[in-house]
Amino acid sequence: MTAYIPATVETPRMPGRPRHALPPFACDAHCHVFGPYDRFPLRHPSSYAAPDAPAARHLAMLDTLGAQRGVLVQPAPYGTDATALLDALAQAGGRLRGVAVADSEVSDAQLAAWHEGGVRALRFVEARDPAGRLFAGSVGFDRLAALAPRMKRHGLHAQLWAPCDVYLAHLPAMARLGLPLVIDHMGSLAPSRGPRDPVFTLLRELLADGAIWMKLTVCRVGTAPDYEDARALHDAFVAANPEQVLWGSDWPFVRMGEKAPAADALVDLAWDWLGSDGLRRKVWVDNPARLYGFTPTA
Catalytic residue among 52, 250, 264, 272: 250
Question: Computed from CA positions of residues 6, 96, 273, 267, in that sequence, does the dihedral angle turn out positive or negative?
Answer: negative
Amino acid occupying residue 149: P
226 carries an active-site annotation: no
8, burial (CB in 10 Å: exposed 0-12, middle 13-18, buried 19+): exposed
- The 3-state DSSP class for residue 9 equals coil
Q: What angle do CA 33, 286, 149 make, to 5 degrees?
A: 70
Amino acid occupying residue 113: A
Please tell me the total number of residues recorded for the chain in this structure: 298
What H or E segment, with its residue span, contains residue 57?
A: helix 55-65
Q: Is there a contact between 59 and 92 (Cβ–Cβ < 8 Å)?
A: yes
Spatial separation of the C-alpha atoms in residues 215 and 30, rounded to whole Å: 8
Q: Is there a contact between 43 and 75 (Cβ–Cβ < 8 Å)?
A: no
Spatial separation of the C-alpha atoms in residues 154 and 121, rounded to whole Å: 10
Q: Is there a contact between 44 and 79 (Cβ–Cβ < 8 Å)?
A: yes
**Residues labelled catalytic:** 250
